[in-house]
Amino acid sequence: MEDTLQKLILALETADEEQTAALWQEHLGKAGSLKLALKKLAGLDAESRRLQGPIIQAAITQAEQLIKNKQAGFAASREANLLQEQSENLSISRTKLGHLHPVTITIRQMNHVFETLGYSVMEERELETDEFCFQRLNVPADHPARDMQDTIYIEEPHLLLRTQTSSIEARTLANFKPPFKVVTPGRTYRNEKMSKSNHFIFHQYQGVVVLEKVTINDLLGTFKYLFQHIYGSEVVLRFRSKYYPEVEPGVGVDIQCFSCQGAGCPLCKGVGWIEMGGAGMIHPKVLAMANIDRHVFSGFAFGLGLDRLVMAKYNLGDIRTLLGGNLAYKPYYHENTL
């Protein structure tokens, strides 16, 4: 029996479907070798039948399983071939992924710059109160500075969409004890007519620093470091005195127009420079409203026009592109986002 099974195993290794059927007949058919051996048991004495019967029966069972396994393999192969023949050739393309908005890329780059300088990055509310958007920034109800901002009120006169990220400065001063250095990006809103350089929804990047020893030279040095990091060492900046109610003295920060390189064009309104933001040393009244001792601490604050930073970086000539459906900036989406 052992020899018969070994021969069957060897034969099955190379047998095709037709040869496997022949092996079934050879060993398990009515005239097969194993079935004949089982029939011959009838002519033996009882003791021989008792000894040889289980051996022959086990050989038959094993041979049946070997051949059935082989036949099952043929059936599976036929089914797989049939599915392959009937399947359609569907080409699968990668799902098109989106890309980061240039504003998001620039925010991440700026956050990285300030984090290396020891600043904390935070967010604050867009729905703001009159107290923190104006009053705590030295802009009372009758102050002429309010005329420069066409405010969108939700519940006049106390609840509004923030017109400036300076409201974050007011909340930072009120909620944290110095010393601290904080930056925060965010959306702001004003009821303005849209043009190439203005939008009623725009982004600002706010910073506030309060330390025991800080001067306006620290502020100007911070600006130079930031703009050179974003635009390279050849960037052309200028600083000029400007009035902002929450700071004294105030500084306007301009960058040479990236569209005309200072010659004058519609984007820069013919002056060759684009205002990028405002800054200055925090006004003593603002510190006092936050219960910060101005004899111990001083600080500076700045608010940058984030959209204009993005426009300069990506050479966009119209701020409306950033919030429109025309993805004019899409060639830049592979840029390193830090």
- Domain regions of the chain by residue span: 2-86, 102-332
Predicted pLDDT at 50: 75
102-332 belongs to CATH 3.30.930.10 = yes
**Which residues, given as ranges, of the chain have pLDDT below 70?**
1-3, 5, 8, 12, 38, 87-93, 95-97, 145, 148, 326-338
Question: Which pLDDT score, from 0 to 100, does residue 101 have?
Answer: 86
What is the Cα–Cα distance from 26 to 62, expressed in whole angstroms?
15
Give pLDDT, residue 115: 95
pLDDT tens-digit readout, 249-307: 999 999 898 778 888 888 788 899 988 899 999 999 999 999 999 999 999 999 998 98
Q: How far apart are CA 215 and CA 310, in angstroms?
A: 28
Residue 160 per-residue DSSP state: E
| Residues near 95 by beta carbon (within 8 Å), at least 6 away in sequence | none
Q: Tell me the backbone φ, ψ of residue 19, rounded to 5 degrees.
A: -65, -35
Q: What's residue 88's pLDDT?
A: 63
264-303 burial by CB neighbour count: b if 16+ within 10 A, else e? ebebbeeebbbbbbbbbbbbeebbebbebeeeebbbbbbb
Burial of 206 (0-12, 13-18, 19+ CB in 10 A): buried
